Structure 1
Amino acid sequence: MAPRNILLMIADDLGRQLGCYGNKVIRTPHLDGLAAEGVRFTNAFASTASCSCSRSTIYTGMHVHQNGQYGLCNGRHHFSTFEHIETAPALLNKEGYLTAIVGKVHVGPEHVYPWEVREEDWSRDVAYISDKVVNVFERSKAESRPFFVTVGFIDPHRDITRAGFGNDGDFDERVETHKYDPSEVEVPEFLSDLPGTRQEFANYYESISRMDQGVGMILEGLKKLGLGDETLVIFLSDNGPPFINSKTTLYDAGVRLPLIVRSPGSASSVVNPNLISYVDILPTILDFAGAKEKNNNLERLGRSFLPILASADDLSDWDKVYGSHTFHEITNYWPTRFVRTRRYKYHRNIAWRLDFPFAADIYGSLTWEDIRNAETSPKMIGNRPLKNYFFRPAEELYDLKEDPYEVRNLAKDPAHARVLEELRADLEGWQRKSRDAWLYRDGVSVLLVKHHLDAGMVMPDSWDIDVEKPGTKGPDVKLYNNVPFGEVAVQPPGLGW
């Protein structure tokens, strides 16, 4: 039996700015070629829109409120995955795989992510990185062991300058430079078309084209070693572009991302429209590897998409995804949850009384400077009023067919009351099933006071405490129904979306 090799490539802060996803300006021939040889998913979703958090969902098959990687791993932020969780490298080590990561790691602690080869490197020289990756391929072949290799590209993340994307570095002569004219870039509709935005996107495109070359070099190395036909190749990004209204938000601009998969023996040039979550990545990898995991009471809510990989049709049981976000930087606390169907998107904003926080790199951007100084009234981010970006209600509901950029909130529209009721119940059922500590009633976590509820305590059935009427007694007080966690709550009949 041929080895079941696995190559996972993760771009950093890449949206759908690729030729194979419809961008007519950018040059990404290697990723476009990979898509032509495999499957391009058009509805793949990160569970969250922050680097460390998203990577943790990929490696654990669990949402961040389950695995504990609530925010960024590095520096002052110092969030870490729970000690008891078995991650992708730990599970595949048990299967005899040569596990390796090259490039960006950005999750912790190290012993919870025990890659056998750990080549952490912040270089954007994709030729240098590809050489390190090919060395692992060669070792795998020499030792007759299957490999699970993760490549963490640094591109196209911002650098520490206000508008840069690492394009001024020293690179191997094999790396070509692709410059872009700011007047020719495609400014996405979630952003305002301003000079600073165009300049930053020209730099962003250059970084993406460099990353694409790294993909090509790695795939060529795989081919030369004769390993291409026995390797599952997965390419994705951790979260959306590092711009306001995208990264750190759970709007589609931040979480609807590229996912390209090439599997041995599978069909090519498939465009798969089914809704895939990043918590499905690990189950898919384990399925391909033939690994039989013992659950150990861990709730991995994802499932393998290998059985539907070649499907070009909308499948009824792949029509919904969920997500959770709690932190980005340590100072960026803004917990929110979402459920998305093909037609609708519902957001529950737990800390809605707080203004939405800025990530440091986005705050320093030229795009934000131009938006805040634009001679318009009211100030806008794309089609969204600036005020609505910073101050959001407890609930947001969007009809994505009519409003794909999630601008017109229908949560208080009587015509959508039934949809709101169903998605609200659906999301809370998922929160209970995933034991989400951010399922709130009366301003506190239901999970953390569950032992009091089980002992007979009652609490109002409202999300936030009513300081004018805080009582729990009287005929007008609706009390919370103490539904068990770990189970799906009773939901109203479906609408057949």
Structure 2
Amino acid sequence: MIRFLLFLSLFFTAALHAEEKRPNILWLIAEDFGPHLGCYGAREVSTPVLDALAAKGMRFTRYYTTAPVCSASRSAFNTGMYQTTIGAHNHRSHRDDGYTLPEGVKVISQRMRDAGYFTANVKDLPPEAGFKGTGKTDWNFKEPEKPFDSSNWDDLKQHQPFYAQLNFQETHRTFHAPPHADPAKVEIPPYYPDHEVTRKDMAQYLDAATALDAKIGKVMDLLKRDGLMENTVICFMGDHGAAHVRAKQFCYEEGLNTPLIMHWPAAVPAPAGYEAGKVSDRLLMSIDLTATSLAWAGIPKPQGMQGQVFMGATAEPPREYVFGARDRCDMTVFRFRTVRDARYRYIRNFTPDRPFLQHNAYKEKQYPVWNLIKDLAAQDKLTPAQASLAAPTMPEEELYDLQEDPYEIHNLARSNQPEHRSARERLSSVLNSWIEQSNDQGRIPEAEDVARNEGRTKEAPPAKQEKGKKKKA
């Protein structure tokens, strides 16, 4: 009997210890942000906080969102499902029609709460932080009645373990950070005109990244102040790629690749696969962070979840391919699907009759280089790489050798070289299989009136927004 009671005591002590060791999990999410940090090799940007976090933690170079625009991408990584599978693929859709997630699909905060985690989408920070979180969700489905328990930072210390998101808008247009970068020294991708307009715009984006890093520093100070640094997993990432012409809303590297920096706390045993100070080139998707975060919390991967656990005892084999998709954004209808492996990116355009610079009010108003390309094209002052963006149509297929052509300038889809033909055929077949197996809802077009009204099912004019607030795409 004594032995039995001793066994029970040890059992419950171990169980309590295990409960105590469940880490807090904090996602720091930057809007419209590519890997433009010092630790990723970006010039004319000052990001000492994130650079230091990467040096102490893990930095991932091949982390991809499933969509190059916020609402579709956020719908995916908040559920661990492709937005194309759950009907959340059209930007800012299903806001007024009562659409709910398919049976069995939940947002990550619900799953965390069910497992005993306190959840927060932090907007309200202590006065010493000097800023507020955006509280952005931007999901293309009807939100659960209470997706998060709190929006207040000060609740976190009293409610552990917690799962929290903190969203930052600095790198979303319009940019408003103090000047730091020298426009003459910024790096301009060759598909953009090397022009003073481009250089000023790129410098302002990098200045926004510098301001973002300063705010991340304030968050690090709060974690230390509240004694949370030692038991909180920190994950910093972008919600999709950079706020540039060929990036946001398009399925190139610049639109889908974002930073992922992860820091594991000292007081919690690190999971298998985590190596402090390591730089990983493993192919990852944003929905994989969802599945992996659940695993850190001791939650088995839900049946049917498409994200893969990439760290810990239940880690799955590395991905050979990552996928992305873009559908209607605002009033602009495209349908792109893409897949990449370790070397090649393949893009299929289901709407090739439409120009890259198809009318989009948001881009025309907020992206000066968008209009610059049009102007220089009319004057015949673009290089071939730049002129392709002003062409009246787009290729049905694109294939890029990312090892030899990281800027994705030379389309190899029609190349006769055996290795290129082989890559195109293989990736085309993989993409076909993914479209079928994932039940891609983009095969069913939106109703014309819904597309025309930018996802609204009623003739509700945008003017109904709160005064003083402009719609952000």
Confirm or deny a common fold (TM above 0.5).
yes
Partner SS for 2:230: helix
Partner SS for 2:338: strand
Kindly state the Cα deviation for residue 78 of structure 1 after the two structures are TM-superposed: 8.5
Which residue is equivalent to 1:326? 327
Task: Tell me the distance in 2 between the aligned counterparts of 1:58 and 1:341.
Answer: 20
TM-score, scaled relative to structure 1: 0.74
Q: Does 1:425 align with 2:433?
A: no
**Is contact 2:332-2:360 (8 Å) kept?**
yes
1:69 alignment partner, one of 88, 91, 113? 88
Which residue is equivalent to 2:163? 148
Q: Does 1:166 align with 2:170?
A: no
* Paired residue type of 1:344: Y
Task: Tell me the distance in 1 between the aligned counterparts of 2:114 and 2:401.
Answer: 45
2:69 alignment partner, one of 38, 45, 50? 50
Task: Tell me the distance in 2 between the aligned counterparts of 1:136 and 1:437.
Answer: 39
Partner SS for 2:92: coil
Task: Tell me the distance in 2 between the aligned counterparts of 1:282 and 1:294.
Answer: 11
CA RMSD for the aligned pairs? Answer: 3.0
Q: How does 1:50-199 map to 2 (within 5 A)?
A: 50-73=69-92, 82=101, 84=103, 85-102=105-122, 103=134, 104-109=136-141, 111-112=143-144, 114-117=146-149, 119=151, 132-133=152-153, 135-140=154-159, 145-159=160-174, 165-167=175-177, 177=178, 179-199=180-200
Partner SS for 2:143: helix
Q: How does 1:434-449 map to 2 (within 5 A)?
A: 434-438=438-442
Which residue is equivalent to 1:19? 38
2:289 alignment partner, one of 262, 274, 281? 281
Kindly state the Cα deviation for residue 290 of structure 1 after the two structures are TM-superposed: 0.5
Using CA pairs below 8 Å that are at least 6 residues apart, which structure has the higher relative contact order? 2
Task: Tell me the distance in 2 between the aligned counterparts of 1:155 and 1:309.
Answer: 36
**Is contact 1:8-1:151 (8 Å) kept?**
yes
Q: How does 1:210-359 map to 2 (within 5 A)?
A: 210-264=211-265, 265=270, 266-295=274-303, 299-307=304-312, 317-329=318-330, 331-356=331-356, 357-359=358-360
Task: Tell me the distance in 2 between the aligned counterparts of 1:423 and 1:386.
Answer: 23
**Is contact 2:22-2:161 (8 Å) kept?**
yes
Kindly state the Cα deviation for residue 227 of structure 1 after the two structures are TM-superposed: 1.7
* Paired residue type of 1:238: D
Q: Structure 1, residues 358-414: CA drift from partner, whole Å, max 9, x if none?
A: 543322222223322237875547834235665212211122222222222222223
TM-score, scaled relative to structure 2: 0.78
Identify if the C-alpha distance between structure 1 residues 389 and 252 changes in structure 2 by more than 3 Å, giving closer, same or farther: farther
* Paired residue type of 2:34: G
Any stretches of 5+ residues in structure 1 without a counterpart?
Answer: 120-131, 160-164, 168-176, 445-497
Identify if the C-alpha distance between structure 1 residues 360 and 240 changes in structure 2 by more than 3 Å, giving closer, same or farther: farther
Q: Structure 1, residues 196-227: CA drift from partner, whole Å, max 9, x if none?
A: 11112222222211111111111221122222
Q: How many residues align?
A: 403
Q: Does 1:36 align with 2:55?
A: yes
Kindly state the Cα deviation for residue 139 of structure 1 after the two structures are TM-superposed: 3.3
Task: Tell me the distance in 2 between the aligned counterparts of 1:51 and 1:197.
Answer: 23
* Paired residue type of 1:146: P
Q: Structure 1, residues 13-51: CA drift from partner, whole Å, max 9, x if none?
A: 111211111013200111111111111101111111001
Identify if the C-alpha distance between structure 1 residues 74 and 341 changes in structure 2 by more than 3 Å, giving closer, same or farther: closer
* Paired residue type of 2:398: E
Kindly state the Cα deviation for residue 105 of structure 1 after the two structures are TM-superposed: 2.2
Task: Tell me the distance in 2 between the aligned counterparts of 1:381 and 1:74.
Answer: 37
Kindly state the Cα deviation for residue 435 of structure 1 after the two structures are TM-superposed: 0.9
Partner SS for 2:251: coil
Kindly state the Cα deviation for residue 148 of structure 1 after the two structures are TM-superposed: 0.6
Q: Percent identity?
A: 30
Identify if the C-alpha distance between structure 1 residues 78 and 273 changes in structure 2 by more than 3 Å, giving closer, same or farther: farther
**Is contact 2:89-2:442 (8 Å) kept?**
no
**Is contact 1:5-1:147 (8 Å) kept?**
yes
Partner SS for 1:369: helix
Identify if the C-alpha distance between structure 1 residues 362 and 294 changes in structure 2 by more than 3 Å, giving closer, same or farther: closer
Identify if the C-alpha distance between structure 1 residues 435 and 408 changes in structure 2 by more than 3 Å, giving closer, same or farther: same
Task: Tell me the distance in 2 between the aligned counterparts of 1:263 and 1:248.
Answer: 32
Task: Tell me the distance in 2 between the aligned counterparts of 1:223 and 1:389.
Answer: 53
**Is contact 2:100-2:142 (8 Å) kept?**
no
**Is contact 2:29-2:236 (8 Å) kept?**
yes
Partner SS for 1:100: strand
Task: Tell me the distance in 1 between the aligned counterparts of 2:408 and 2:52.
Answer: 32
Identify if the C-alpha distance between structure 1 residues 209 and 32 changes in structure 2 by more than 3 Å, giving closer, same or farther: same
Task: Tell me the distance in 2 between the aligned counterparts of 1:148 and 1:72.
Answer: 26
Which residue is equivalent to 1:453? none
Partner SS for 2:408: coil
- After TM superposition, the structure 1 stretch with the greater mean CA deviation from structure 2, 196-205 or 340-349, is 196-205
Which residue is equivalent to 1:362? 363
